Amino acid sequence: METKDYLGYIAYFVKNVDQVAPRPDYVRFFKKHLGAAMFSAPVPKIRDVARLMYKGYIGTTYTRYGAFYLISKLDSTQIDKFINETVAIAKKYDVYYDTIDRDLSNTAIDKNIKKFALANYKSILADYSDDVPKKAVAKKTATKSTAPKKTASKTTIPKKTTTTAKRTLVITTTPKKPVRKTATKGKKASKSCADYKVPELKDLARTLKVPYYSKMNKTELCKALKIK
């Protein structure tokens, strides 16, 4: 596993797993675990944060808590224990519904982290770190233009004479182009069911207090949330 895989999954978590958590909370979380300069943090720390985030994603499928809330309250060992105890209770009462492999070994976690890692992680994490390369911005004062400045030419208006000939001043103006309004009336385009991921639908269902949402699959969640 390379560092970019772990950073790619961190970007995936921020963009797709838990968008409810506000940006300042994410910034505090990253500074706590990685320091202000995320890209300069030691590789083991970046790896551990990515694994912690993945465990938070697993934990949210079994509870009503959001993924970011879990990782901000519990460390890696505590999340392991929390998930195992929750699953054990569900199995005891025969209400264990999730058939997805939830192996918490580092090998299984790294496999999924690499699967979901985003290649454009730098642009996504740019607002959360002080050392993410920013796009080159052209400096306004870098070079001075050698082109001669345009000087307003004064038009000499002839003095009035006693002659009866009237002078007409012709002013040519360029008509302004009408500005087209880009705002369109009507409803904004909404996301379709295919645009959502299961964790997002579950978070939305939990917020709207949809009964038994945790046992629903993607189709059932979309139907319950009236998402076509």
Please give the pLDDT value at position 139. Answer: 42
Please give the pLDDT value at position 117. Answer: 96
Burial (CB count <10 Å: 0-12, 13-18, 19+), residue 22: exposed
| DSSP state, residue 190 | P
Of the candidates 195, 8, 7, the residue with the CA atom closest to the CA atom of residue 116: 8
CB 76 within 8 A of CB 48: yes
CB count, 10 Å around CB of 142? 6
Please give the pLDDT value at position 163. Answer: 44
Domain boundaries, the chain: 3-127, 193-224
Sequential pLDDT tens for the chain (228 residues): 899 999 999 999 999 999 889 999 999 999 999 998 899 999 999 999 999 999 999 988 878 899 999 999 999 999 989 988 888 888 888 877 666 656 788 999 999 999 999 999 999 999 898 875 555 333 444 444 454 555 555 555 555 544 444 555 445 555 555 545 444 444 445 678 888 888 888 888 888 878 877 778 888 888 888 888
Please give the pLDDT value at position 179. Answer: 46
Please give the pLDDT value at position 226. Answer: 84
Please give the pLDDT value at position 184. Answer: 41
The Cα–Cα gap between 102 and 130 comes to 34
The Cα–Cα gap between 127 and 77 comes to 29
Please give the pLDDT value at position 22. Answer: 92
CB 26 within 8 A of CB 125: no
Token reading at 173: 């103006």
